[in-house]
Amino acid sequence: MLSKSQIKLIKSLTQKKFRNTHELFVVEGIKGIGEFLNSEIELVTLYTTGESFEVDPEKVVEIDEKELKKISSLKTPQKALAIFEIPANKEVKLNDLVVALDGIRDPGNLGTIIRLCDWFGVEELICSSDTVDCFNPKVIQATMGSLARVNVTYLDLEDFLTRHNSSSIMGTMLEGENVYLSELPQKGIVIFGNEANGISPEIGKFLHQRIHIPQFGKIKKTESLNVATATSIILSEIRRSSFTEKQN
């Protein structure tokens, strides 16, 4: 049975300010919840319509479909909904590749990028303060659980880059060198910019290496690649060398 105050709390978590106040976020669906249960992130309460999970029974609340509908933000609720604690900020480890985002606004893009980081073994994702919140329900849905394995840190990107200026810092810019002909470092920071404006001038000045993905075909009219698509191509280009260098 769900109390009115529980419903109110859960529904409030669709908004960033309440997620930050309560330090809580919502995951929906059996698969997504399972991925977070397998991570270090702490479960607070699990609401389920019958699906069983291997968790502390004191944290489980059995509800019916009608109640789930009241707290779900999905058109078709997915049998279970869980509340987890937003983890405390961890130190950003700079000993491997780090992806940095400068003002990404679209939740779907951020979700796809988190999934790509997970696929390409990037454990650290740093986001400028104006990047969309990774605990936004739409981001959570788009990550398919990858958020449980990628450490996402929000910070003042300009300040961070000033302090870590000795790392290799690269980013995609229209006037950059052809990525297919570039030597790409396996460590360091790779920056992707806002959907409409790309990397901002304040951040662009930190770049040691500017790369771009060339366009093919006779008619060159496609305005730009979507940022998540560009991320997939650049991460693939960086990681492929771990195979191809062994070959040469």
Interacting residues with a second copy (CB under 8 A): 35, 108, 112, 115-116, 118-123, 144-146, 149, 178, 180-181, 213-219, 221-223, 225-226, 228-229, 232-233, 236-237, 239-240, 242-244, 247
Bridge partners, 226 (sequence order): none
Cα distance from N-terminal residue to C-terminal residue, the chain: 64
Among residues 121, 115, 107, which one has the least CA distance to residue 73?
107
* Burial group, residue 130, by CB count within 10 angstroms (0-12, 13-18, 19+): middle
Does residue 105 contact residue 79 with C-beta atoms inside 8 Å?
Answer: no
Count CB-CB contacts under 10 A for residue 37.
18
Closer residue to a second copy in complex, CB, 19/149: 149
Closer residue to a second copy in complex, CB, 19/115: 115
CB of 184 to a second copy, least distance (A): 12
CB of 34 to a second copy, least distance (A): 11
CB of 204 to a second copy, least distance (A): 23
Please tell me the distance from the alpha carbon of residue 212 to that of residue 242, in angstroms, as a whole number: 21
CB of 205 to a second copy, least distance (A): 28
Closer residue to a second copy in complex, CB, 110/161: 110
CB of 51 to a second copy, least distance (A): 19
Q: What is the residue whose two structure tokens read 């607070």?
A: 44
CA 58 to chain centre: 30
Closer residue to a second copy in complex, CB, 20/186: 186
Closer residue to a second copy in complex, CB, 108/204: 108
